[in-house]
Structure 1
Amino acid sequence: MRILIYGINYSPELIGIGKYTGEMGAWLAQQNQEVDVITAMPYYPEWAVHTSHKRKGWHTERIAGVRVHRCPLYVPRDVTALKRILHEFSFVLSSLVFWLRIFFAKRYDVVICVAPPFHLGLVPTIYSKIRRVPLWCHIQDLQIDMAKELGMIKNRHFLQTMFRVESHILKQSRVVSTISEGMVRKVALKKGIQSGCVLFPNWVDGAYIKPLPPTQSLRAELGLQPSDKVVLYAGNLGEKQGLEIIIQAARAFVSQPDVKFLFFGTGGGQGKLETLAREYALANVKFYPLQPYEKLSALLATADIHLVLQKKSASDLVLPSKLTGILAAGGFALVSAVPGTTLHDVVHHHQMGVLIEPESAEALKTAIDQALLSDLTGFRLNARKYAENYLNKEKTLSNFMQELLSVVGLPSPAFRTASSPSKVLKEDFADREMDSEKEKISLE
């Protein structure tokens, strides 16, 4: 197949959408597919173009067998709603340099558009119509819904316009996919994409990210003592997570110097968090940069407690991608989630973490207290088991490949035959639901 992937984030970004899109592109190339990508200069989550790509214009490079067409874009230092809109539109305009060539020079078998930004699908829908190519829209975050719920955009008319544009793109797509059951329900019911919305979850390489003993962690490198208890948050330090409560919880442990709160990451909210830690003179809070992928297992093994936090208003609009690595590493997680959401239900059913009320520093403090005094072995074993059974990279991407073959109409003896564009991922989703119910019964 000739596959075109269009998205603002791609490898070598270490976390978030870029990580998964990059792994997807590389995996497809390994299956002897011809893969092209139109994307931006790498900038996330630092919100600064990586040193390797600074002062570069439009160019093409090869990453893991994939032709990656890079476009310059505006990257704001201070991320506001308006600046983010300008940032995203600058990429759309910049990417037209490659799109104009493609419109007249090359016909792909399928175009995969990765959102957010939601409006990236506008150009692919035109290409899809003109060249009669199926369009697959994959949603990692329900961006407009989240901007509305978090109060990032308050203008009602502007929101309505964005929802109409989003609806047009989704209805023009042959397949719409997203990463959790709750998000599938929202897209199907709230956005009216009932016949073509499928589950395409994020994954983890369980052979690479795995449980390690403390001696192979980063504890020695960080100067930690064997007796230290580590509460870890690793990932994007953004606004949708509500991370200020970690600083508030850390204040309650200043009298226990062996309890350390470590942040690994960067993002738009980092400055605010560092300022709060300085104002409270918290010696038990430390900030570190993102670690390379090669160190991820060692980083995850450093923690006694992992934090997976998000605001109430972001429930079922995003699914924290960091959780896949924590589960594969057999980590114990404190997860803030609202009952009835996918995140809450999955963690509860599989007993692979402790659930707490979102945006509550008191609930977080209490849960940390209890976890530090408890035997967490059962949670850790369940976490690893879930990753092995449901987050397997090879199985997830093989099902996705079959879906692509079905959409394009190219059968392959290496995969199961599907009779409809959404059958394979729906079958896998049903299998997971059935297994989940069996495990739930056995736990009860």
Structure 2
Amino acid sequence: MARKVLIYTNHFYPENFKVNEVASWLAGEGREVLVITGIPNYPSGNFHEGYGLFKNNKAKYGKVDVIRLPLVSRGSGSKIRLIVNYLTYFISTLIYTIFLSFFKKKFDTIIVHHTSPILIAIPPIIYRFFKRPNMILWDLDMWPDTLKAMGIIKSAKALDLVEIVVRWIYNKYDHILVGSKSFIIKANERTIPDKIQYFPNWAENAFQDQNILVPTHKYSFPSGFNIMYAGNIGEAQDFTNVFRAILKLKEEDINWLFVGDGRSKKWFQTKIEDSGLDSKVFFYGSHDVKYMPYFFDKASALFFSLKDEKIFSMTVPAKLQAYMASGKPIVGMISGEGAEIINNAKCGYAVKNGDFKSLANTILNLSRLDKDHRDIMGQNAKSFYEANFSSTVRKNEILRLVK
């Protein structure tokens, strides 16, 4: 009989998250997989086309069954709207979990894909009380550290309370997966170290295979040196300092390409327009991951950034592995583990979080290198990725954990 797996996640297809691939891996290996998720509204904040409170709530994603529970969308991303978004989804998962606990057959393994908030890890503990499944928490957002870094909670007592809750959650799970080596130290303080496993990100097959699919819409790209950012355009990505770097290079022959969406995009676009940088900065919207190699192919180099906060120096953004697999030189405005990976791979340059002047100077210097030199960096990136972040290794690890 096939083993039954229940996955809790805030985000699932058509939203681009690694949990999509994990679910497909498990189903492809003969597991019966049910995904509990919300109505897709990330990163724009609005429900994706074709989805709503009463539309497309039950679906199939390949061999994976998907249940979409009601929630209030993130909207413009104000603190109040985010709290409502979090709470409505938490209430939905809580009610549905109680239903599963009493009226459905037992799931052998539960996987919780925690991006944010940590509330998603609580309802499965109720199910655990009744059914005793194997419990896996895939922790990608280290609370309460992120809350403190983003200024969402400033009270020391409130942060301590969240830390107590997170420690309680950790001790209710059998396995804790963390995406960076820096997180292991923090996780070890919360529970038995034997539970903690390093589980870094990988690139989707589209990047690994370099399978370039052309979107139906025709896009035009500028000629010259194109530095590209792909992913969420949000507060954590420090677009205030990205804008300052662009402004510093406004007289240089450098084009900035942005592929993605997010709560800070409208603000960022307005800043670009008001500063007369329209001829240097180009926006291409958000796209299915299968089309991303097409956009990456137009880039001379790829960059990413995170805010100058301790928690972000411990973070390795998922886009870094996708960048590396694409075989392009990389610039990161990031300290800590992400910078170490770039430096060890010899695939580009890393400057400190928030150091927009160094970011600008580094990109300018990279633009002046000959193409052969940049191609060597790109090859180094791909080689390092294949040696350290292969999806095959991650797949085998998750299959061993899912009983």
Same-fold call, TM cutoff 0.5:
yes
Partners of 2:99 and 2:214 in 1: CA distance = 48
Which residue of structure 1 aligns with residue 202 of structure 2? 203
5 Å-filtered alignment, 1:35-434, equals 35-56=33-54, 59-104=57-102, 105-115=104-114, 116-189=116-189, 191-205=190-204, 208-210=207-209, 221-226=218-223, 228-256=224-252, 258-282=253-277, 283-313=279-309, 314-338=311-335, 341-374=336-369, 375-405=373-403
| Secondary structure, aligned partner of 1:10 | coil
Q: Give the deviation of 1:111 after TM superposition.
A: 0.8
Partners of 1:397 and 1:185 in 2: CA distance = 24
Deviations 1:80-127 (A, max 9, x none): 334322211210111234323210122111111111321212111121
Deviations 1:341-361 (A, max 9, x none): 221222222212201121122
Using the size of structure 2 for normalisation, the TM-score is 0.91
Q: Give the deviation of 1:207 after TM superposition.
A: 6.4
**One-letter amino acid matched to 2:41:** Y
Q: Give the deviation of 1:245 after TM superposition.
A: 2.1
Q: Give the deviation of 1:326 after TM superposition.
A: 0.9
**One-letter amino acid matched to 1:13:** E
Partners of 2:204 and 2:390 in 1: CA distance = 7
Structure 1 alignment gaps of length 5 or more:
406-444
Q: Indicate whether 1:11 and 2:10 are aligned.
A: no
Partners of 1:217 and 1:132 in 2: CA distance = 47
Partners of 1:111 and 1:59 in 2: CA distance = 21
| Secondary structure, aligned partner of 2:358 | helix
Which residue of structure 2 aligns with residue 440 of structure 1? none
- Note closer, same or farther for the CA distance 1:264–1:370 as it changes in structure 2 (3 Å cut): same
Deviations 1:221-260 (A, max 9, x none): 543354x11011110001011022222222233333x421
Structure 2 alignment gaps of length 5 or more:
none
**Identity rate of aligned residues, in percent?**
21
Q: Give the deviation of 1:211 after TM superposition.
A: 5.4
Q: Give the deviation of 1:61 after TM superposition.
A: 1.2
Which residue of structure 2 aligns with residue 429 of structure 1? none
Q: How many residues align?
A: 393
Partners of 1:208 and 1:154 in 2: CA distance = 39
Q: Is the 8 A contact 1:146 1:317 kept in 2?
A: no
| Secondary structure, aligned partner of 1:51 | coil
| Secondary structure, aligned partner of 1:315 | helix
| Secondary structure, aligned partner of 1:331 | coil
Deviations 1:169-201 (A, max 9, x none): 101111111111111222113x34422111122
Q: Is the 8 A contact 1:2 1:35 kept in 2?
A: yes
Q: Is the 8 A contact 1:203 1:391 kept in 2?
A: yes
Using the size of structure 1 for normalisation, the TM-score is 0.83
| Secondary structure, aligned partner of 2:22 | helix
Q: Give the deviation of 1:303 after TM superposition.
A: 0.9
Q: Is the 8 A contact 1:217 1:300 kept in 2?
A: no
